[in-house]
Chains A and B, each alone.
Chain A
Amino acid sequence: MGKLNLGQGSGGRLTSELIGKFKAQFDDVNVQRDLEDCTMISPEWAVTIDGFTVSPMDFPGGNIGKLAICGGTNDLAVRGIEPKFVTLSVIAEEGLNEEELLRYGRSAASVCHELEVKLAAGDTKVVPRGTVDGLFLTVASMGQPLAKPLGMERIKPGDRLAVTTSIGRHGATIGSIRFDLNVEGLSSDCAPLWPLVKPLAVLPGVRAMRDCTRGGLGTTLCEWAEGTGLGIEVDESSIPIDEGVSSVCDILGFDPLHLACEGCALIAYSPDDEDRIIEILRSHPSGIQATSIGTVVEGHPSMVGMKTEAGGMRVVDMPVGELLPRIC
């Protein structure tokens, strides 16, 4: 047990292990027993919390303010919970431009308006230069279920899987800025998911949803396979990946499956409902790239396999450590 490293915050296997160890300290008082994105604290109310730090704070497709409310409420949306309230903690670095802070606030408020979500509480701190990187936002979100909350315990063999949009756009956008790659047309998928998935929350055939944030689609698939003990098979050629994301991955040596998304959900559902679900998703502007990508199977328990475009088969695993650009 040594000092923390960035790999432990990058959303893959190391993050899971760190969270597991930290959660163990709360064993006696923890009501969140499963590994879902939010927790039902009563039959009527669900809650979740998320911290946001991103460099740069402005990026094509959004900024840290928009990201915070989208990310905070998306964790509710994917369990079929309608977001109602958020609380917002602001920790700003001395020297940050006040107008810049207010601009992020306006972006956050604009998403609240769109979702008809109210700000229930807030806290603002300014800390000495160097103690935070610009601005940290922490959002706790509360909401109410429209039907029985979705969750991975409902997933069955034979269920189909879909993604709501093309994958990896947020991670590729941030990576391209950090490494000075000018990729035309590339922007983050940062968006609130509730308006897109609300019609699905009440469909009995929908089993589970997850937003594929840190660690990307690959990690989310692995969490479902490992969490349910079932196997998962996906077809590479059906997974939507924008050209800009592919370019960034080619240059940096990243796997698009492991790049973060901020407005993309993975959905598991009964095969009988496939046409209807894809149609509902595609009828919303955030879901026009929605497509089915694979199936839950009984074989190879707890493992995710991918049929590659070349016709081969390979294992998909969680990334380990910080994603770093390759050397050659």
Chain B
Amino acid sequence: MSSDRAKLLSSALKRLTKRPTTIMEVCGTHTVSIFRQGLRSLFPEDLKLISGPGCPVCVTPQGEIDGAVELATRKNVVMATYGDMMRVPGSNGTLGELRGSGSDVRVVLSAMETLRMAEEMPHKEIVFLAVGFETTAPATAALMIEARKRKLENLSVLCLHKRVPPALEVLSKADGNRVDGFLLPGHVAVILGHEPFKFIPEKHGIACTVAGFEADEIMLALVDLLEQIGENRPSLTSRYEKAVRPEGNVKAVDLMDRVFDTSTSAWRGIGPIDASGMSIKEEYSLWDGSRKFDVAVRNVPEPKGCRCGEILSGTITPKECPLFGTGCTPVNPIGPCMVSSEGTCSAWYRYGRKGDLKWES
């Protein structure tokens, strides 16, 4: 985006922000993108952006992390997962620390990499720790379908996937909800399309726009939201037309439907949410790591003083958490929002901890 266009969009935002307005960017990638592109300095003071539950690492409860960490310590297990999971603190350390102690924990970029690992190490048990929303779940489903086809019995999935729309339902109807609009997650919408989000304006009267991740896509989406709010006509619009088809990616949704059932799932700081989880269907039970290894998921209380739950639901900003930047830092994270590169606290720490800067020279 040229700085002329940025100025134009910035003045549009200023013109359209007629009262204090709060927008939740649901997706962690939006949070990081807004900070990294310095967009906060282009927003009017009355326009406040808060981060939502859109970082999959952050919303994974401690009990599930503990279960994964425990499984990774078992003899003969090779655990493979996405990079961000390596540093999430469980009650007894992180997967990264386990790797340092000799456990075989590996970072993969795609679920499919574990197929090769299973074939190359027939005497090991490869467990894919599957985390993420509708963006990564189709790949996990495809992995399981392929593993079943190849009869790879030493490969299994510890499934911690979650669905985004049910979490937005909870936030939309929450008492004291102070969100005027949702900047909807572009990557999730690529898979699901528009339909699963329409209930937000129709049922709850909250403005919604699907946004991409470039500066002008985010700014344009905010213009859309402010217009909806100003004219009091909440609807669902999209500023990510280049990637999102209204019907979504039918093939990806079909993959998920073939492998997963919906189930109640616990979200860190928010609690159990109906239909927000993905449990592995009976016909894939041989590849369900949770059943295969009888992984126990206990109800573990949040670390003392950690307010990640309130941050994930947009009730407070990271700077309002007394641990932010003191007891809880990316070096020694206490809560998950400080761990993941997409985490709200981590983004605030990296880009906003030292304060805002003005261009001098």
Contact = CB atoms under 8 A, between A and B. Distances in A.
B100 A4 contact: yes
B1 interface: yes
B33 to A, nearest CB: 10
A190 B131 CA distance: 36
Nearest to A3: B100
Interface string B116-136: 000000000000000111011
A292 to B, nearest CB: 12
Nearest to A252: B109
B326 interface: no
A86 interface: no
B64 interface: no
A23 interface: no
A299 B101 CA distance: 45
A17 B82 CA distance: 27
B312 to A, nearest CB: 15
Question: What is the interface of chain A mostly: helix, strand, loop, or mixed?
Answer: loop
A2 B41 CA distance: 39
Q: How many B residues touch the partner, as a band?
A: 35 or more
Interface in B48-96: 55-57, 82-87, 96
B330 A306 contact: no
A278 to B, nearest CB: 18
Nearest to A295: B361
A325 B359 contact: no
Contact of B359 (A233, A253, A320, A328): A233
Interface in A53-85: none
Contacts of A328: 27-29, 55-56, 132-133, 135-136, 187, 342
A315 B351 contact: yes
Contacts of A325: 82-84, 107, 109
Nearest to A257: B36
Given A321-B87, A326-B84, A313 B38 contact: yes
Contacts of B227: none
B40 A312 contact: yes
Interface string A312-328: 11110100111011111
Contacts of B350: 315, 317, 320
A2 to B, nearest CB: 7
Interface in B319-361: 329-331, 340-342, 349-361
Contact of A299 (B86, B107, B356, B360): B360
A231 interface: yes
A29 interface: no
B331 A13 contact: yes
A238 to B, nearest CB: 13
Given A179-B109, A324-B107, A327-B136, A313 B357 contact: yes
Contact of B357 (A2, A180, A300, A322): A300
A42 interface: no
B36 A315 contact: no
Given A2-B97, A252-B109, A327-B131, A313 B358 contact: yes
6 contacts: A6-B96, A312-B41, A317-B354, A321-B331, A326-B83, A327-B84
Return the 4 tightest CB-CB contacts between A and B, nearest first.
A312-B38, A324-B83, A311-B3, A311-B6
